[in-house]
Amino acid sequence: MTTTTVSNGIDVRALTETVEAVKDDPSLGAFTFRARSRWQDGTYNTGEIHTFRQDGGEDRSRAAAFTLHGDEPPVLLGANRGPNAVELLLQALAFCYAVGYVANAAARGIEITRMDYEVEGDFDVRPFLGLDGPRPGFTVIRAHGRVSSPNATREQLEELCRYVQETSPVRDSLINPVPVETTLEVV
Amino acid sequence: MTTTTVSNGIDVRALTETVEAVKDDPSLGAFTFRARSRWQDGTYNTGEIHTFRQDGGEDRSRAAAFTLHGDEPPVLLGANRGPNAVELLLQALAFCYAVGYVANAAARGIEITRMDYEVEGDFDVRPFLGLDGPRPGFTVIRAHGRVSSPNATREQLEELCRYVQETSPVRDSLINPVPVETTLEVV
C-alpha cells in the first residue's frame, strides 16, 4: 500500500511536518531575506539573491546566486535591459498569490491544473520626476487569477482565494505599512 | 563646441525634456504596469513582464517579454528554481532606490562611480502556514546603500538619499497602504 503525499507538486507530508515543527518551535518561523543590487549604467542595475537567514542560521541550499536585471523602458530613459522596479513588485505579488494558492490547495486536497495571475498597477510618474501629483507609489493594484480544478467546487476555489489573500506576505506588505529603514555609506 | 548631456549614463537633456513634457501634459505621467504568472509545478511559477500603458496607449518598445522564475527554497518546500516572492519584493526596492539615486544625481550634476544596495527584510512564515504569529508580511525592511562620487560632498550625497526616499515608488508602496483588488475566475 502506498500513500500519496504529493499534490500539485507539493509534498503534503513535508508541508504538514513543517507546520508541526514551526508550531513546536516558533523561532523556526523567523526568516530574514535579502537582495543586493549593483548599478551598471544609466537606469540599468543588476541584482543578486542568494542566502537568507532562518532562526539565526544561514541557509546554504543555493549553490549560486540568482541574477536579476533591472532597467527602464526608453520612455523612462532606459534601454529595456530588464523590467523596472514597479513591474518587479507586481511580479512578486503574482508569485506570492500563486504559491499560496497551490500550496494551500494541496493541503486541502484540491487538485490544481491551471493557476495564472495577471497583476496590474496604476502609477503616476510625476512625483518621481519632482512634479506635483499623487503619491509616488501605486495608487491601486488589481490582481486577476484564473484557476482550474477537476475536484473542487467554485465555492471552495473562491473561499481559498479569500484565505490566500489574508495570509499572503506580499499582499500584506502592500495593504499595510511596512517600516523601511534606509542608510547610506559614502565610500 | 559640444554640450555634454549624458551623465551617469543618463541622457540629462532627454530627462529634462521628459519632465517638461509631463509638466505641460500631466496625463503623460499616468502609467499602468503589468506582470503575469503561470504556475508550473509545486511552488515553481514562471512570470512574464512585457507591455504597459502610458496615457491610455500601449508601449510596444519591448520586442519580447522578460521571463522570470519564482520558487521557494527546500526549507519552504520548493527546489530553488528561482527566488521567492518576498525576495523579489526586496530586489524591487533595491532597483528602485538605485534608479532614483543615479537619475537624480545626473540631474544635479553629481557623478556616480558606484551605487550598491543591500536590502533585507524580517519576515515570519507562521501566518502563511496558518499558525498564530505576527503579520503575514515583512515586519521591517532595512536598506543600506554604498555610493561613491568624485565630485560631490558627503552632505550632498546624504541629502540626495533623503530625496530619493521621498520620491521612491516602491518605498511609498511599502510604507503607505496600497489598495489591492483581487478577483478569481474559475475556468
User: For helices A85-107 and A154-167, what crossing angle results, to 10°?
Assistant: 130
Per-residue pLDDT reduced to its tens digit, B34-80: 999 999 999 999 999 999 999 989 999 999 999 999 999 999 999 99
- Residue A2, pLDDT > 60, answer no
With H, G, I as helix, E, B as strand and everything else as coil, classify residue B87. helix
Q: Using a CB-CB distance cutoff of 8 angstroms, which residues of chain B are in contact with residue A36? A: 94, 116-119
Name the residue among A92, A98, A119 with its Cβ closest to that of B92. A92
Confidence band, pLDDT 50/70/90 cuts, at residue A1: very low
- CA-nearest of A88, A37, A54 to B143 is A37
Q: Give how far the C-alpha of residue B160 lies from the chain's centroid of Cα atoms, to the nearest Å.
A: 18
Encode pLDDT of A126-184 as tens digits: 999 999 999 999 999 999 999 999 999 999 999 999 999 999 999 999 999 999 999 99
Whole-number percent of chain A with pLDDT over 90: 96
Q: At what angle do helices A12-24 and A85-107 cross, to 10 degrees?
A: 100
Mean pLDDT for all residues in chain A: 96
Query: CB neighbours (10 Å) of residue A28?
Result: 17
- Count of CB atoms situated within 10 Å of the CB of A146: 15
Cell numbers linked to A88? 518587479
Q: Which residue of chain A comes nearest to B150, CA vs CA? A: A187
Q: What is the pTM for the complete model shown? A: 0.97
Nearest chain A CA: its distance from B137 CA (Å): 4
CB A175 within 8 A of CB B134: no
Instruction: Tell me the per-residue pLDDT of B125-164, one tens digit each, with 9 for 90 and over.
Output: 999 999 999 999 999 999 999 999 999 999 999 999 999 9
Which of A89, A101, A119, A120 best probes binding to B when mutated, by most B CB atoms within 10 angstroms?
Answer: A89
Mean pLDDT value across chain B: 96
Are residues A182 and B143 in contact, defined by beta-carbon separation less than 8 angstroms? yes
Search chain B and give the residue with CA nearest A75. B18
B32/A121 Cβ within 8 A:
yes
The CATH label, of 3.20.20.70, 3.30.300.20, 2.40.50.140, 3.90.1580.10, for the domain at A83-177 is 3.30.300.20
Question: Once rounded to an integer, what is the mean pLDDT over residues B5-21?
Answer: 94
Domain locations in chain A? 33-82, 83-177
pLDDT higher than 60, residue A12: yes
Q: Rounded mean pLDDT of B159-171? A: 98
Nearest to B77 by CA among A22, A94, A103, A49: A103
